[in-house]
């Protein structure tokens, strides 16, 4: 932070190295494994770079970064939501290559989970991801989303209800997969 504030050479690279993994992970969880994930990361860092001068207390860097990443994710989700309503974009989630890591079973569970999340509105989806995937507490989640604590609670509760409905509609999460579409076995 000091290097960034003093405009030291290499400060931008240091900032990127320090924060990119976290930001990328959050955007990926919030928006799914989309083709434009790299663009979202760049967008987020540009916003961060332009506004970091406004951060008075370096101790609050984490919350500041979260807020910017959430804002970036929200914009992307809203655009995608509108495109889907207007039937411009019918893809549920644009999956990219090895979108998820872990065992085949874990990956398949993640795919189904991502499809479920895709049935949520942007605001509910973000609330759900911050609370249950990023495991933020209620206060941190509210700050990251830029809403009051009670609003965040309401959104999380609404997201949970919606997820429950969607999971009931979907087939049960697979516990084993015997054949992988790409030819990869278990």
Partner 1 sequence: MRASQKIEELGEALREATREDVSQHHHLLQRSRFLHAIDGARRPRSRFLVVGLAASLALTLAVLGFVGRKHTLDFSSQTDAATGGTRWSFSDGSEVDLAPGAAAKVVLLQDGGARIDLARGHLDVYVNPKRHARWEVLAGSHTVTVTGTRFLVERGQGTEVTVQVNEGRVLVRDPSMTEPVVLDEPGERYTTVPAPRPAPPHPTARREPEPPRSLDPPRSFEEELLDAERARLSGERKLAEKLLLNLRSRHGTGAKGAQVAYRLGRLLEYEHPQKAAAWYAAVFKEQPDGPLARDAANAIVDKFPESSQAAAAKRFLAAH
Q: Interface with partner 1 by CB under 8 A: which residues?
A: 12-13, 16-17, 20-21, 24-25, 28-29, 33, 38, 41-42, 45-46, 49-50, 100-102, 106-107, 109-110, 113-114, 116-117, 129, 132-135, 160, 163-164, 167, 173
Q: Please, which residues have CB within 8 angstroms of residue 70's CB and are 6 or more apart in sequence?
A: 26, 30, 126, 130, 144, 145, 146
Question: Shortest distance, CB of residue 38 to partner 1, whole angstroms?
Answer: 6
45 or 64: CB nearest partner 1: 45
86 or 172: CB nearest partner 1: 172
Question: Shortest distance, CB of residue 13 to partner 1, whole angstroms?
Answer: 6
Helix (H, G, I), strand (E, B) or coil at 141: helix
Question: Shortest distance, CB of residue 112 to partner 1, whole angstroms?
Answer: 8
Q: What is the DSSP letter of 133?
A: I
Question: Shortest distance, CB of residue 86 to partner 1, whole angstroms?
Answer: 27
Listed residue (39, 38, 48) closest to 4, CA to CA: 48
Burial 80-102 (b: 16+ CB within 10 A, else e): bbeeeeeeeeeeebebeeebbee
20 or 149: CB nearest partner 1: 20
Q: CA–CA separation, 178 vs 4, rounded Å?
A: 51
DSSP E strand boundaries for the chain: none
112 or 147: CB nearest partner 1: 112
Question: Shortest distance, CB of residue 49 to partner 1, whole angstroms?
Answer: 5
Q: CA–CA separation, 68 vs 23, rounded Å?
A: 9
Q: Given the structure tokens 């959050």, which residue do they identify?
A: 26
87 or 169: CB nearest partner 1: 169
């Amino acid at each position: 932070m000091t290097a960034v504030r003093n405009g030291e050479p290499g400060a931008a690279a240091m900032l990127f190295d320090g924060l990119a993994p976290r930001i990328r992970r959050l955007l990926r969880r919030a928006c799914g494994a989309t083709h434009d994930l790299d663009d979202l990361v760049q967008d987020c860092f540009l916003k961060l770079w332009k506004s970091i001068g406004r951060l008075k207390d370096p101790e609050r860097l984490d919350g500041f970064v979260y807020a910017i990443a959430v804002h970036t994710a929200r914009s992307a989700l809203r655009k995608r939501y509108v495109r889907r309503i207007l039937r411009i974009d019918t893809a549920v989630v644009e999956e990219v290559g090895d979108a998820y890591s872990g065992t085949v079973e874990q990956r398949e569970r993640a795919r189904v989970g991502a499809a479920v999340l895709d049935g949520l509105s942007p605001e509910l989806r973000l609330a759900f991801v911050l609370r249950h995937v990023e495991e933020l507490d209620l206060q941190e989640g509210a700050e990251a989303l830029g809403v009051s604590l009670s609003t965040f609670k309401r959104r999380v509760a609404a997201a949970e209800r919606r997820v429950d409905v969607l999971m009931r509609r979907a087939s049960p999460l697979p516990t084993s997969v015997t054949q992988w579409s790409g030819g990869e076995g278990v």
